[in-house]
């Protein structure tokens, strides 16, 4: 009988120590797992937001350069005068306009623009060059048709 009582007390004490030791560890482990999971998610979100904002900043900067270049080209008096000049050869004017257009592109890297064209609507002064042609030519190009 004494042995049973010791055995019973031993089991109760063992159960108490197990519960007192494992239960707090399990609760803390679950809490810390959830907390780390939330913090890792927040860090990843912030990292992706920063990456996206840097990428968009670069795109905005490029678009600003393109816009500045287009404004500069549209106000370039050399190009405007050459487009309206009816006395010169169409191909000679086209070559001069193409050169002036290339000089007018204000970009960090000229290679970023694959093709920049000027399309003229002046039927009485046709012009043809690497970067300038008549507007009806644009209708035959794939980039023009892609917008339809």
**pLDDT tens per residue, range 42-84:** 999 999 999 999 999 999 988 888 888 889 888 999 998 898 8
Which residues have a Cβ under 8 Å from the Cβ of 68 and sit 6 or more positions away?
106
Two tokens at 8?
């019973």
- Contacts of residue 131, defined as CB under 8 A and 6 or more positions apart, other chains included, come to 97, 98, 101, 102, 115, 116, 117, 118
Q: What is the pLDDT of residue 3?
A: 62
Q: What integer pLDDT is reported at residue 144 of this predicted model?
A: 55
pTM beyond 0.85: no
Distance CA 72, CA 56 (A): 24
Q: How confident is the model at residue 2 (pLDDT cuts 50, 70, 90)?
A: low
């Amino acid at each position: 009988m004494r042995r049973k009582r010791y055995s019973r007390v031993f089991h109760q004490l063992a159960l108490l120590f197990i519960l007192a030791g494992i239960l707090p560890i399990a609760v803390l482990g679950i809490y810390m797992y959830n907390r780390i999971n939330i913090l890792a998610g927040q860090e990843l979100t912030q990292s992706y937001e920063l990456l996206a904002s840097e990428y968009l900043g670069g795109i905005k900067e490029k678009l600003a350069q393109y816009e500045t270049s287009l404004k500069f080209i549209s106000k370039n008096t050399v190009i405007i005068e050459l487009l309206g000049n009816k006395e010169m050869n169409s191909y000679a004017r086209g070559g001069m306009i193409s050169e002036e257009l290339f000089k007018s592109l204000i970009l960090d890297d000229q290679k970023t623009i694959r093709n920049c064209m000027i399309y003229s609507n002046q039927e009485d002064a046709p012009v043809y060059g690497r970067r300038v042609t008549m507007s009806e030519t644009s209708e035959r190009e794939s980039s023009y048709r892609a917008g339809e």
